[in-house]
Structure 1
């Protein structure tokens, strides 16, 4: 019996050098989302690797939509689904080892771009929750720490080289790094007095 990890093939894992146009694409997307949803959005933020200058990334714009709560999520997401954005059924939950699998601190809704449009991941999360804060802390820590950014980029390239045709395998190698980086980012946040910046579309 083999103990070698295997994962089902998926789309190829393609990493690109940082693209300056990612920031502009986010800005256009944020304005579109704000026009669709309006005052229900507390803030719209560019998150994930495409939000970190100098970091290699898949060509996917990750956007965090912060709302007061998710109890009326269908009302919040209806304007988006009417515009063609695709909502995954029920709630999703992010993964963090120190929290229960279905903790409210990890709950979100997830949408994809309308069919035929550029790849987007929309993460609708509640204000004040762990996952909402972590996405922004992770981004800001990597923006501020070039050494951590470079090492994380190296890990991503190696993971893509090991699992060039499996997103699941690529993410399997990356997941523990998120938890390690959180420890470093939390210390950094305390040291520099990091707080959430004012909402922005840039």
Structure 2
């Protein structure tokens, strides 16, 4: 049996994000420059795992550990340091893909909080990917169908599912870069 469950879109995901973002802002204060709802739960009408993905952006890599320590002190669980996968055609320097991941305190709403550095390739990727899917509902629907089918495979962990999704996300992201250049898309102020 798969470790992944994809659920129907939930109109309350945006409100759940707003509530969680306030908590994250309260904990991190000036350590964070923006908090964004990212991932599938941030795309209206898109099926997803019932886990809020949130990106908290810090100014410098040294701020990542400060943010993690503040969150741990508030009972969030830190995961080991990691890197996002490098995307073909984007900078391959490892520092462009550094992130920290923390999850919600026990018995709270499931959250994956991705801590990334402003201006790095992985920070921009999450925001552009999201905006592209919001602007291209047919692409979002096709991505949702892929996720539904992938979730039926016998994964032992969510990491295996993520590894399968990465190249599919890149196939969406690469035309998103062209769309961004054509439309003048830039990283907007956080919502």
Same fold judged by TM-score > 0.5? Answer: yes
Give the aligned partner of residue 95 of structure 1.
85
* Aligned CA-pair RMSD: 1.8
Task: Find the aligned partners of 1:148 and 1:195 in 2 and give their Cα distance.
Answer: 20
How far, CA to CA, are the matches of 1:187 and 1:197 in structure 2? 17
Aligned residues: 189
The one of 170, 180, 187 aligned to 2:178: 187
**In terms of Rg, which structure is larger?**
1
In the TM superposition, what are the counterparts of 1:1-202 in structure 2 within 5 Å?
Answer: 12-89=3-80, 91-98=81-88, 99-100=91-92, 103-163=94-154, 166-200=157-191
Query: Is residue 82–residue 100 contact of structure 2 (8 Å, CA) maintained in 1?
Result: yes
- TM-superposition CA deviations, 1:74-104 (whole Å, max 9, x none): 3222221111001123x2100024354x710
Structure 2 residues without counterparts, runs of 5 or longer: none
In structure 1, C-alpha distance between the alignment counterparts of 2:178 and 2:68, rounded to whole Å: 35
Q: TM-score, normalised by structure 2?
A: 0.92
Kindly tell me: are residues 74 and 162 of structure 1, through their superposed partners in 2, closer, same or farther at Cα, counting changes over 3 Å?
Answer: closer
Query: Distance in 1 between the 2:28 and 2:162 partners?
Result: 31
Any gaps of 5 or more consecutive residues in structure 1?
1-8
Query: Residues 153-191 of structure 1: CA distance to partner in whole angstroms, max 9, x if unpaired?
Result: 111111112336653443343221111111111111112
